[in-house]
Structure 1
Amino acid sequence: MSGGLVTADGGVLRDVERLRRQRSDDALCEAKAAGGGLPKDIWETVSAFANTRGGRILLGVSEAGGFVPAEGFDPQRVIDQFVSGMGDGGQPPQLTNPPVYTIERAELEGRPVVAVDIAENDLGRKPCWRTAQGIEKGSYKRVDDKDLHLSSAEIYEMRHALTQSSVDLSAVPRASLKDLDESQLHALLQRRASSVALRGTVDHGERLRRLNILTEDASVTLAGLLSLGVYPQQFFPRLLVDVTVHPGLAKATGGGRVRFSDRQQCEGALPEVVQTAVAATARHLQRYATVEGSGRTEHLEIPEDVLREAIANAVVHREYADLFQGEPVTVDVYPDRVEIASPGGLWGGKTKDNLDDGRSMCRNRVLMQMLQHVPHHEAAGFTVEGQGGGVRMMMNQMTAHALEGPEFTVHPDQVVVTLRRHGVEIPALRQWLQSLSSETLTEQEEAILLIARRNGGVTVPGLRQSLGADSDVLRMVLDGLASKGLMRETGTDSYALWAEEQGLTDAEQSVVDALASGHAQELSVHDVARATGRAVTSLRPVLRGLVERGVVVATAPPTSRNRRYVLPDG
């Protein structure tokens, strides 16, 4: 059917072809026949796109007939109705916080269609809702091909995404100083004794008020209780970390015989909660050893520093407003991954794309400040560092151990961090490293070799970003690996494994096989991930390397959301 498709806009062509292959709309495109004029439910779709990732509405395209031109479609009439409904035709808008939009005329099989592109609203203009229905009933989100109502929690998070929270400063009814751990309180006061914060204070109560442990009327604050409490769950039973170990790759449904193989609810003050949750998670991960000089070092399959950072971030950045106090932070351990879910969305302008920019933004600023000075129970160090480098550290640590970087799934009312496990691969990887050389390799050399094996090669700039090492030091290590016959220089500051000179790496071959099975169909990185069973984050450098070498062709620039991949002709 697509052979008869004519359009002035290649994007419309690709969208219609995709919808025909799928036989349905999707998260970024909705087709509406509009044969009798603008459909009333279009405002639900506009709201959903504005509140999610934006999207395109194709008017004059009938899904019922297989995404073909709709009968009776009058483009001018529909455009006038849409513009008027958006408040640009002298009439009140159908929506509160209407999004930016563009309209383009096109043709489908010689018949007129209209493409309306809806931009995602900025944080300060979310949610967008149908005014007549009100914010609770008229706010929508886009999930695959559906426009679904936003929950009360999602609406709350959108409305407060740029508003500094004061929940952590609020008084906890019924709590008093006797509910705080005296030893932890003493340790905190000792640590802050010479600080500007306590300058000029003359009594114990004044010091506690200065540190925001007590309110002005001597009530215990939420931040004080969570940081220093003997048992905060007496007052907030669900403010804990729930660690659950699952035998399968997904949570078992109610009908399954085995729903989980282990579970621990980590309680106490937050420093103890984080420490206990890390230990509970680590018990179910594999370990391996490396030799560094004359010493033997044992490693967890996911670095313990990464686990601690992810769990600590979840408890300090989570939403503590009343609407969320019934939700714990959850840590789900699966055979192939660990997922840490935190109630509440991102705050303060943070997005999935700028999480690692080094800016420290926290809705719970008093709690963050306190946890920077309250020590772990029976352990060295503090719960958070608060300098904004935690996400970058996690990425560097994972890459340094040849692991895929952390994946962040962001919802309006929840953030999930996924850390991929490689326990099953560890014996094979250790055996592969041993097969390369009879000499003992340093941990840094092993990391470079494993990264090269996974990505099909390495570059000095890439390693500098991943391993956090000096460029000159990396060049020396790479030259050393080359002199041992383990790597070869392929360009300026670019190296590949000698062992892979004649062919593709396992990861590269799996991508090529997936594209070949697509029968010349263009695949997105997410399509390739589904076909190969590999994570998107690990596939991006593989695809980039294949494109650079001409093995795979990309259809759009790296920044385009329409970027697809295909094997070259012939």
Structure 2
Amino acid sequence: MSILDESLENAIQRLRKQKTDDADYEAKACRSRISSDVWDSVSAFANTSGGTLLLGIDETNSFSVVPEFNVNKVRDQFIEGIGDGGATGAKLSLPPEYSLERTSLDGKQFLAIRIHENSADKKPCYVTAKGVEGGSYKRVDDKDIRLSAAEIYEYQNALRPSTADLELVKDADLTDLDDNIIKNILARRKDSKALRGTSNNQERLSRLNITNKQEAVRMTGILVAGKYPQQFFPRLIIDVAVHPGVQKAQPGMPRFLDRAECDGPMAEMVNDAVNAVARNLRTYSIVEGTGRRDELEIPREVLREAIANAVIHREYHPYFQGQPVSVDVFPDRVTVTSPGGLWGGKTLLNIGDGESKCRNTALIQLMQAAPLSGSSNVTVEGQGTGIMFMIREMEARALSRPDFEANPDQFKVTLWRSGIEISSNRRWLHEHAGRELSRQEDAILLVAKENNLVSVPEIRQQLGYDSDDIRAVANKLVSDGLLISVGKDTFAIADENDQRLGNGEDIAVSQPIVMEDKDLLELIPENGAITTRELAKRTGKSVETIRRMIRRLSQNGDIVSIGKQQSRQRKYTRAQQSN
């Protein structure tokens, strides 16, 4: 929020209701002079996503204007401290752009100052007197939090190619390299300009940055072609953890359902991590014509791209060498978190533009020539299309786009699961619900659909949601007519034939009417058209039952459809019989 997209009046009313500042607004009383912590907040806003200072507003007095607030004096002090009154009075290094507005609340004046986020080449903004290590802040909710040494490093090097992957590995030598991997890399690059004019392997390994000219092994060489890179870098692994709940370490649940610390050379490590995730995902059978294919709820290609990107683009500076790439499998999502922030001017707005930017240039160059074990394929392509590929592959299957989250010292990709993302399930939810559902509602409805009858403990076991949350969501679905209560804490998909009794804990279901396709055909008009929902209402059958009968009648040529295939308003009319 800001003074640009939310009125100050609305913002202050919101702050009064929540009784605290937030990530977008910071109120400072500043009765007659600017307090020193104002500059901490300016630094935090400049280093994060921008925000608005409300000077002369007292948070402790229901966000009211401070009596006798000296608006002119505080304004002049801010202008001087930001550096516009001359360098001698400046309080900040790399100060941000800002826009200042004198405004009124309850007939009294105060200052609203919009602080703009700094560009990548002007971070971190910091309080000069405290130094960059002690005076650099970020905004987290209503707090100004001092940046860590790793976060400061990331900001200061956001536009500088890393040299970490070219560093020499202490105590490593040629015997620590895998001969087969080296052989495959050299075979793949044998006709490249990189090896032009080389006469022996010593020169070739140096050209590819596996070693230097004195045969000392580089970090890139160990990570890609080492027999066991973790001998030298124990935490440069991929840590795959499968959690029983939707959060880590939920009370009353086991800590992990599965755990795999994937190590070895980089291509093998990525492959093992993909397999570890895949074995903990559901597989769906997709019927196509007379055949059938099995498909993971998250495509394997997308998993591989997300994990490979995390390994290739992570930060390898010593600050980060103690952190693995983390892959967390939850009942509703898979997250892939890599150490190090976005690099090279990339932001959440432009990461999918297809422009290749990589902090680890030697590493990605070598990985493009390192084949997967037992395959001629490589782990990465290096064309800057990884994000676009993930988005395209998910959308091609009618799945939700991945979510991306960027922090100064880490980057996270979230891929959603729970069966909601299977295209047939999405269509069913859309047609069955008749309204927009939350992700929890989607997931609980699908569990009920798949199991016919389902209890709160069974939903908790499958989805990991809190039992009280499940009851609240399920009862809302019952009140909306989407679920029915079938005993204590037990639910089923609602059907037109279902009738709840007295206390809602028992249910009587009328005997189904035996109905053949020809009976349904009699209800479909020759002159005019009718929808599946209208047919379901007339017959007392579920929409799914009507839809199955409609498909058979269509295949027999007895009816004609009108409208788009996936439209809820699609109608049917009886086919004209030829004489």
Query: TM-score band (shorter)?
Result: 0.7 to 0.9
- Give CA-to-partner distance per residue, 1:152-205, whole Å, 9 cap, x none: 111010000001111111111111111111111101111111111111111110
Letter in 2 for 1:354: N
* Contact kept? 2:314, 2:339, Cα under 8 Å: yes
Question: Contact (CA 8 Å) 2:47, 2:118: kept in 1 or not?
Answer: yes
Q: Please name the residue that 1:162 is paired with.
A: 159
Structure-2 separation of matches of 1:337 and 1:183: 37
Alignment of 1:92-171 (within 5 A): 92-171=89-168
Residue matched to 1:51 = 47
Q: Say if 2:124 and 2:136, in contact at 8 Å, map to a contact too.
A: yes
Q: What is the aligned counterpart of 1:11 among 7, 19, 40? A: 7
Q: What secondary structure sits across from 1:64 in the alignment?
A: helix
Partner Cα distance (1:290, 1:10) in 2: 47
Q: Is the 8 A contact 1:486 1:499 kept in 2?
A: no
Q: Secondary structure at the match of 2:202?
A: helix
In structure 1, what is the equivalent of residue 489 of structure 2?
A: none
**1:498 counterpart SS class:** coil
CA distance in 2, matches of 1:335, 1:271: 27
What is the CA deviation profile of residues 254-307 of structure 1, one whole-angstrom value per residue up to 9, with x for unaligned ones?
x75621111010000010000000000000000112233443221000000000
CA–CA distance in structure 2, aligned partners of residues 293 and 55 of structure 1 = 56
Matches within 5 A, 1:205-244: 205-244=202-241
Q: CA deviation at 1:92?
A: 3.3
C-alpha contact 1:69 1:111 (8 A) present in aligned 2: yes
Partner-residue secondary structure (3-state), 2:11: helix
Give, in whole Å, the separation in 2 of the partners of 1:8 and 1:251: 37
Deviation track 1:491-538 (CA, whole Å, cap 9, x = no partner) reads: xxxx9613589xxxxxxxxxxxxxxxxxxxxxxxxxxxxxxxxxxxxx
Q: Which 10-residue stretch deviates more, 392-401 or 408-417?
A: 392-401
Structure 2 CA distance for partners of 1:26 and 1:8, relative to 1, 3 Å: closer
Report the equivalent of 2:197.
Answer: 200
- One-letter amino acid of the structure 2 residue matched with residue 497 of structure 1: S
Q: SS state of the match for residue 376, structure 1?
A: coil
C-alpha separation in 1, matches of 2:310 and 2:257: 23
Unpaired segments ≥5 residues, structure 1: 1-6, 437-479, 490-494, 502-570
Superimposed CA distance per residue, residues 423-459 of structure 1 (whole angstroms, 9 cap, x where no aligned partner)? 36759729949x99xxxxxxxxxxxxxxxxxxxxxxx
Query: Structure 1 residues 12, 390: CA separation in 2 closer, same or farther (over 3 Å shift)?
Result: same
What CA distance in whole angstroms lies between the structure 2 residues aligned with 1:28 and 1:140? 15
Hey, what's the Cα distance between the residues in 2 that align with 1:387 and 1:421? 28
1:60, CA displacement in angstroms? Answer: 1.3
Counterpart of 1:275? 271
Q: Deviations over 1:438-496 (max 9, x none)?
A: xxxxxxxxxxxxxxxxxxxxxxxxxxxxxxxxxxxxxxxxxx9xx9977736xxxxx96
Tell me by how many angstroms 1:9 deviates. 10
Alignment counterpart, residue 88 of structure 1, candidates 84, 100, 110: 84
Taking structure 1 as reference, are residues 280 and 36 closer, same or farther at Cα in structure 2, changes over 3 Å only? same
What pairs with 1:528-539 in structure 2 (closer than 5 Å)?
A: none
Partners of 1:346 and 1:372 lie apart in 2 by 21
For the structure 1 residues 221 and 16, does the alpha-carbon distance in structure 2 shift closer, same or farther, using more than 3 Å as the test?
Answer: same
Equivalent residue number for residue 488 of structure 1? 563
In the other structure, the counterpart of 2:567 is: 497
The AA in structure 2 aligned to 1:396 is R
Instruction: Pick closer, same or farther for the CA change 1:315–1:10 going to 2, 3 Å.
Output: closer
Please tell me the residue identity of whatever aligns with 1:207: R
User: Residue 271 of structure 1 aligns to which amino acid in structure 2?
Assistant: A
Residue 368 of structure 1 aligns with which residue?
Answer: 364
Task: Verify the 8 A CA contact 1:318 1:343 in the aligned structure 2.
Answer: yes
Aligned counterparts of 2:345 and 2:427: Cα–Cα separation in 1: 45
CA distance in structure 2 between the partners assigned to 1:381 and 1:170 by the alignment: 28
- The residue number in structure 2 matching 1:250 is 247
Change (3 A) 1:353 1:8: closer
* Structure 1 residue 11: Cα displacement: 2.3
Counterpart residue type for residue 281 of structure 2: L
For 1:141 and 1:260, the matched residues in 2 are separated by 32
Q: CA deviation at 1:216?
A: 2.1
Does residue 420 (structure 1) correspond to residue 416 (structure 2)? The answer is yes
Shift of 1:23: 1.4
Tell whether 2:301 aligns with 1:305.
yes
Structure 1's 229 and 9: CA in aligned 2 closer, same or farther, altered over 3 A?
Answer: closer
CA RMSD across the alignment: 2.6
Which amino acid in 2 is paired with 1:383? T
Change (3 A) 1:166 1:10: closer
Matching of residue 30 in structure 1 with residue 26 in structure 2:
yes
Where in structure 1 do 4 or more consecutive aligned residues deviate above 4 Å? 7-10, 424-428, 483-487
Secondary structure class of the residue paired with 1:497: coil
Tell me the SS of whatever aligns to 2:80: helix
The answer (yes or no) to whether the contact 2:206–2:215 under 8 Å persists in 1 is yes
Query: What stretches of structure 2 of length at least 5 have no aligned partner?
Result: 433-553, 572-579
In structure 1, what is the Cα distance between the partners aligned to 2:4 and 2:91? 30
Question: CA 1:405/1:200 → structure 2, altered by over 3 Å: closer, same or farther?
Answer: same
Change (3 A) 1:485 1:120: farther
Superposition TM-score, scaled by structure 1 size: 0.74
Query: Shift in Å at residue 219 of structure 1?
Result: 0.6
Structure 1 residue 377: Cα displacement: 1.3
Contact 2:563 2:570 survives alignment (8 Å): no
What is the aligned length? Answer: 445
**Percent of aligned positions that are identical:** 50
Distance 2:4 2:211 in 1: 66
- For residue 326 of structure 1, what is the aligned residue in structure 2? 322
Distance 2:70 2:373 in 1: 70
Q: CA deviation at 1:40?
A: 1.3
Out of 58, 65, 68, which is 1:62 matched to?
Answer: 58
Asked if the contact 1:487–1:498 (Cα under 8 Å) also holds between the matched residues in 2, the reply is no
What amino acid maps onto 1:202 in structure 2? S
Query: Is contact 1:486-1:498 (8 Å) kept?
Result: no
* Aligned residue number for residue 497 of structure 2: none
Query: In 2, distance between residues paired with 1:377 and 1:420?
Result: 29
Residues in 1 aligned to 2:277 and 2:67: alpha-carbon distance in whole angstroms: 59
Structure 2 counterparts to residues 403-552 of structure 1, below 5 A? 403-423=399-419, 429=425, 432=428, 488=563, 497-499=567-569
1:139 and 1:9, CA in 2 relative to 1: closer, same or farther beyond 3 A? Answer: closer
